[in-house]
Structure 1
Amino acid sequence: MHTTVASSPGKVLLAGGYLVLDQHYQGLVVGASARFYCAVTTFKPDDKTHFADNTFPIVVQSPQFESAEWAYTLSYLPELKIWKLSENTALRNPFVEIVLFYTFNLLEYTLGHEMFVQRWNNAGLKIKVFGDNDFYSQQERLSERGLPNTTQSLQSLPRFLPTGTTLSKVHKTGLGSSATLVTSLVAALFTHFGFSQTLTRQPEATGSSLSVDFLAWVHNMAQFCHCLAQGKIGSGFDVSAAVYGSHLYRRFNPAVLEPILPSEFTLTKLPTLDLPHLHSTLSPDHAGWDHTKQPAALPPGFRLMLADVDAGSHTPSMVSKVLAWRKTHPSAAQQLWDALGNLNHGLASLFQELTQEAHLHKDAYQQALDQFTQLPTHQWANVCNTEPTLQDSPIVDIAQRFVKVASTFATIRQYLRDMGDQSHVPIEPIRQTELLDRCMQVAGVVMAGVPGAGGYDAIFCVILGDASAKQVESVWNEWKDMNVSPLLVEESKGGVRLEDPDQILTGN
């Protein structure tokens, strides 16, 4: 049996909540170490009679959930020159079925009918989808084992632990599981059927074994499928992070997708396909794909920490209310958006500058890092003026940038609270503010905030050093007002990638 496994990272939007929906502004997104995996395996069914008329079985399984198996039949309709996807189970999964339907039709159009059928090799497909534990709250799993909510407890859990519930009832942690599912499934199918062999190979993307062209096709197809499955064209930063990892993202113009998005999608009433138009629209050569992705990452020595907060917010509702306020108060909103946009871009620039300094002046950078690890940020500016070791160039420039990172993000937080107050949306609720302010009192904590659209779902900290991490976790463990559970998430290295099936599928 031939097996292909692709994985994609989750996401944490550090800066750019709400603004990232507008093409005029950027969002700083960090790829998460938690990954979603899709394994595509060719298998020989017992019943081969259906191969005579170009009909193939597909079985999709999600072993971490109860009642999570979907059976499909892919069959060719010569009169329409498209492949029809029929569902053999009552339980729908639009994210899976939309990817399968559009990806197979695009593959057939690109490879040609004869080559596409040949790639099936008179066989069916078994697809397994599963995510790292951090995509789902593990608080109940820990409680069942009599374990406290600590990173040590989480590390003791088996990988890809079953959730004990159905997909519709699981408590997610906001890392973008649907975007990573769609992205990894598109990448796995493209690879399994040899789509990359049809592309003009460009230099490989930095830190990836996949070509620039291939990644762009995966990105565009995943954005299209994810938008259709969600029923709307979102900002796309979650899919972009699943493809490329950490970066500074500016969204694409939604007009590029509108002509090919059907008004609705169901397997009982499949949309009419114009395959040449679909292919040309999703091609990276299409001028409508005007998004940008500038390289960005946490500077050396900076570490991301994330916690699951067991309270919950409804993000679409929050977003709609903020956008409604922006529409009715355009002048005030514009001032706030512009100020936040400048701060978000400035934060990303500071990260880039510190990364460069770490390489150009390694010893000086380490001295500043060591000094600030021992102090809370409210003391950083004073120590820059009084500590002799921070007065010598180039250490002084590096130290000032550390201070500016902390002050810039503190201002971002304040403006987001202002946005919440004016729109009557709990972007940073008072209970979160109290917890975040307490985290900021810990030595070596550079930033503490609510990711993405905010609310009660999660918090993040960016810290310096292991000692800071331990103190932050102690704050979380001792916090009484909310149930705060740490996640194992750190910043990911790279985006979508191909995996060794033997390493990933053992025991799954």
Structure 2
Amino acid sequence: MAVVASAPGKVLMTGGYLVLERKNAGIVLSTNARFYAIVKPLHEEIIPESWAWGWADVKLISPQMDRETMYKLSLKNLKLQSVSSRQVVESRNPFVEYAVEYAIAAAHATFDKDKKDMLQKLLLKGLDITILGCNEFYSYRNQIEARGLPLTPESLASLPPFTSITFNAEDSIGENQKPEVAKTGLGSSAAMTTAVVAALLHYLGVVSLSSFSEDQSHGRKDDSDLDIVHVIAQTAHCIAQGKVGSGFDVSSAVFGSQRYVRFSPEVLSSAQVFLVFPICLINSEEKILQSAKVFSLEVLKEMLLLLVVYLNSPRLKLRNDGMTSFPCHAKPIGNNAGMATPLTEVIYDVLKAKWDHERTKFSLPPLMTLILGEPGSGGSSTPSMVGAVKKWQKSDPQNSLETWRKLSEGNSALEMHLNTLCKLAERNCNVYECLINACSLLPAEKWLERANEPSQADIVKELLGARDAMLGIRYYMRKMGEAAGIPIEPESQTHLLDTTMSMEGVLLAGVPGAGGFDAVFAVTLGPSSKNVTKTWSSLNVLAMLVTEDPRGVSLEDHDPRAKEITAAVSSIQLQ
């Protein structure tokens, strides 16, 4: 029986860069663009002699990238080894690989003996994993332009669901090197990792997830299963990208739209040491070299500092031969307590660690629409931009602290105004609806003219307060970019955003997340978004078929290709 799980992409509306540090919050909106993972047995039956094998077969298929990779999964140490051609191995997907290894390790870490026997049978049938991302995660400007179609949402809607992915040109070099795939900045790796982890954990029986329709009918009892998905997905995603990021993208992929404060990076120190320094665990020069290729020099320096801290902790013990070993922290499970693998122990520790992130449900106020536009530059390198900001912070601590303080104040103000608008809408729905629809036809400077009574004036006050907060955020983001020497809000984007915010019915406009050339976003009132998409098209900006969808990870009833689930996305009428 196949298990299909999906997880959403994200838009970080506020908190760019600041969310990397504890105590700073970010507002992240989940979207209707979703990544799907389909997990099913690779073999119909268990081959009799397979019980003596120490390996299980794993097949990973990515139809949009025309890639199929075969692996052998060691049932002893739970590590994947590719058995495909060298060319396929070099284009491997570390996010999915770690997701598979960690999900299986989580099963071993939490199951008793009877469940481990069932797990063994499941694994001996092999794993057939297919990953699919909605078109909205990727740039299709080149294909649209090659067809001679206009840069409109309707042109995007004409593409088949799960269209083959566009690759960036190979002539970009140095710090300006573009990623292999032309993306739109919706957090495809986090959504993909989360979907794979969720599908596998459900397939293996570690968690019992529900579909969106089931949640609506019966309500979700608690988030304990989602917490497990979150921990494993965060761990896999951080290790795959070679650093412990803020985690907002994975958190929104699991839980949906939210106000987010990051977890302490130390919660993953044992997992980092285990994977970056496998010499402590695996006597294999080849493995060491493979690990060294994954991480940059800067990241390795950070990892070395973590290793020094970790080696001085009482958690480690010295073996008779002078080598440092990792003690088993796992509680005895069934009769196989002595058979735990180092990876299982690490994942057990991670599951039991104190995850101190904070999340609060958040969504846009009623009658407001999130829209995204793709300027068409092929994407920016977020890691290099983050590195530039960190370098600036170290070189100019006084000014950087002041800039961050102003940004934090602006982020908090915007959050407050949007939350107040939600309360005003709930308190007086009819007044709110009439005023929002009226303001959707007017530029912001004329909104106050439509407030004929105190309750309407209160709403307009919050609308204008939200606009002012966003303008302040944009100002200090530009200031930070100029000081750090990076295009957080490039001049071309500034012109586009100013034009957008001057239009009728536009509340906000900005660059999401770390900024750069990936995308722009706007929040519009009532039915005004259609006019924005037309203006964007005239400015050579492609409005994407993306809007806010507050739900997080979910089970799906069918393979999305069978029922063309993205047809619903493609038919969205942006009004």
Instruction: Return the TM-score normalized by structure 1.
Output: 0.89
Aligned-residue offset at 1:265: 7.9
Larger displacement relative to structure 2 (423-432 or 8-17): 423-432
How far apart are the structure 2 equivalents of 1:191 and 1:101?
Answer: 15
Distance between the aligned counterparts of 2:36 and 2:217, measured in 1? 21
Shift of 1:349: 2.1
Distance 1:368 1:450 in 2: 27
1:207–1:70 CA distance, 2 compared to 1 (3 A)? farther
Q: Report the CA distance between 1:423 and its aligned residue.
A: 2.1
Corresponding residue number in structure 2 for 1:201: none
The corresponding residue for 1:86 is: 81
Query: How many Å apart are 1:507 and its aligned residue?
Result: 7.4
Q: Which residue in 2 is equivalent to 1:323? A: 390
Q: Give, in whole Å, the separation in 1 of the partners of 2:80 and 2:259.
A: 37
1:463 deviation in Å?
A: 0.7
**Does structure 1 retain, via aligned residues, the 8 Å contact 2:133–2:162?**
yes
Give the equivalent residue in structure 1 for 2:463: 402
Q: Could you tell me which residue of structure 2 aligns to residue 264 of structure 1?
A: 276
**1:358 is matched with which residue: 425, 434, 448?**
425
Q: In 1, distance between residues paired with 2:536 and 2:262?
A: 34
Query: Partners of 1:208 and 1:233 in 2: how far apart?
Result: 33
Q: Distance in 2 between matches of 1:6 and 1:156?
A: 25
Offset of residue 426 of structure 1: 1.3
Matched with 2:495 is: 434
Q: CA deviation at 1:252?
A: 0.4
Deviates more, 1:178-187 or 1:423-432: 423-432
- Match among 557, 565, 571 for residue 500 of structure 1: 557
Map of 1:491 onto structure 2: 548
Match of 1:475 in 2: 535
Partner of 2:207: 196
Q: Which amino acid aligns with 1:18?
A: Y
| Match among 424, 440, 448 for residue 509 of structure 2 | 448
User: Which residue of 1 is the match for residue 125 of structure 2?
Assistant: 123
1:57-99, Cα deviation, whole Å (9 max, x unpaired): 1111000013x1111122322xxxx334221123222111111
Name structure 1 gaps, 5 residues minimum.
Answer: 199-203
Alpha-carbon deviation of 1:410? 1.1
Distance 1:502 1:232 in 2: 33
Report deviation, 1:406.
1.1
Could you say what secondary structure the match of 2:399 adopts?
helix
Residue 442 (structure 2) aligns with: 375
Greater shift in the superposed pair: 394-403 or 269-278: 269-278
Out of 412, 416, 419, the residue aligned to residue 473 of structure 2 is: 412
Residues 166, 182 of structure 2: 8 Å contact kept: no
Q: Indicate the residue corresponding to 1:313 in structure 2.
A: 380
Mapping for residues 33-432 of structure 1, pairs under 5 Å: 33-44=32-43, 48=47, 49-53=49-53, 55-66=55-66, 68-77=67-76, 82-89=77-84, 90=86, 91=89, 92-112=92-112, 114-119=114-119, 120-121=121-122, 122-163=124-165, 169-196=180-207, 209=220, 211-261=222-272, 262-264=274-276, 269=287, 273-274=341-342, 277-283=345-351, 286-287=353-354, 289-311=355-377, 312-380=379-447, 384=448, 386-387=449-450, 390-432=451-493
Structure 1's 52 and 211: CA in aligned 2 closer, same or farther, altered over 3 A? farther
State how far apart, in whole Å, the 2-side matches of 1:44 and 1:263 are: 31
Instruction: Give the number of equivalent residue pairs.
Output: 485
Task: Say if 2:105 and 2:344, in contact at 8 Å, map to a contact too.
Answer: no
Aligned-partner Cα distance in 2 for 1:157–1:315:
28
Cα pair 2:260 2:359 within 8 Å, conserved: yes
In structure 2, C-alpha distance between the alignment counterparts of 1:177 and 1:245, rounded to whole Å: 15
Q: Is the 8 A contact 2:161 2:564 kept in 1?
A: no
Unmatched 5+ stretches in structure 2: 170-178, 210-214, 279-283, 292-325, 327-340, 566-575
Aligned-pair CA distance for 1:148 = 1.4
2:361 counterpart letter in structure 1: P
| Cα distance in structure 1, aligned partners of 2:400 and 2:371 | 31
Aligned-residue offset at 1:212: 0.5
Whole-Å separation in 1 of the counterparts to 2:166 and 2:494: 33
| Counterpart-to-counterpart distance in 1, 2:217 and 2:403 | 35
Cα pair distance change 1:505/1:195, threshold 3 Å: farther
> RMSD across aligned C-alpha pairs, in angstroms?
2.6
CA distance in structure 2 between the aligned counterparts of 1:103 and 1:249, rounded to whole angstroms: 24
Q: Is the 8 A contact 2:506 2:522 kept in 1?
A: yes
Q: Is the 8 A contact 1:446 1:463 kept in 2?
A: yes
* Rounded Cα–Cα distance in structure 1 between residues aligned with 2:277 and 2:103: 15
In 2, are the aligned partners of 1:208 and 1:494 still within 8 Å (CA)?
A: no
Query: Contact 1:11 / 1:29 at 8 angstroms: preserved in 2?
Result: yes
2: CA distance between counterparts of 1:348 and 1:259? Answer: 35
Q: CA deviation at 1:307?
A: 1.1
- Confirm or deny: 8 A CA contact 1:256 1:281 kept in the other structure: no
Instruction: Tell me how far apart the structure 2 counterparts of residues 39 and 59 of structure 1 sit (CA, whole Å).
Output: 11
Pick closer, same or farther for the CA change 1:301–1:197 going to 2, 3 Å.
closer
Shift of residue 209 of structure 1? 4.6
Change (3 A) 1:507 1:335: closer
Q: Do the aligned residues in 2 keep the contact of 1:11 with 1:30 (CA within 8 Å)?
A: yes
Q: Residues 338-387 of structure 1, C-alpha deviation per residue, up to 9 Å, x if partnerless?
A: 1211221221222222112212200111122022111122333xxx2x44
Q: Distance in 1 between matches of 2:442 and 2:156?
A: 29
Shift in alpha-carbon separation, 1:378–1:315, aligned structure 2, 3 A: farther
How far, CA to CA, are the matches of 1:214 and 1:205 in structure 2?
A: 17
What does residue 320 of structure 2 align with?
A: none
Identity %: 38
Amino acid at match of 2:374: D
Q: Secondary structure at the match of 2:412?
A: helix
State the 1:7 CA deviation.
Answer: 0.5
Alignment-derived partner of residue 523 in structure 2: 462
For the residue of structure 2 that corresponds to 1:175, the secondary structure is coil
Moved more, 228-237 or 90-99: 90-99
CA positional deviation for 1:310: 1.5
Classify 1:507/1:470 alpha carbon distance in 2 versus 1 (closer, same or farther; 3 Å).
Answer: closer
Partner of 2:337: none
Q: Distance in 2 between matches of 1:231 and 1:207?
A: 40
Return closer, same or farther for 1:75/1:506 CA change in 2, 3 Å cut-off: farther
Hey, what does 1:32 align to over in structure 2? 31
- Cα 1:16–1:205 change in 2 (3 A) is farther
Identify which range, 408-417 or 83-92, moves more after superposition.
83-92
1:15: Cα distance to partner? Answer: 0.8
Aligned in 2, Cα 1:229/1:276: closer, same or farther, shift over 3 Å?
A: closer
Q: Matched residues in 2 for 1:54 and 1:209: separation?
A: 39
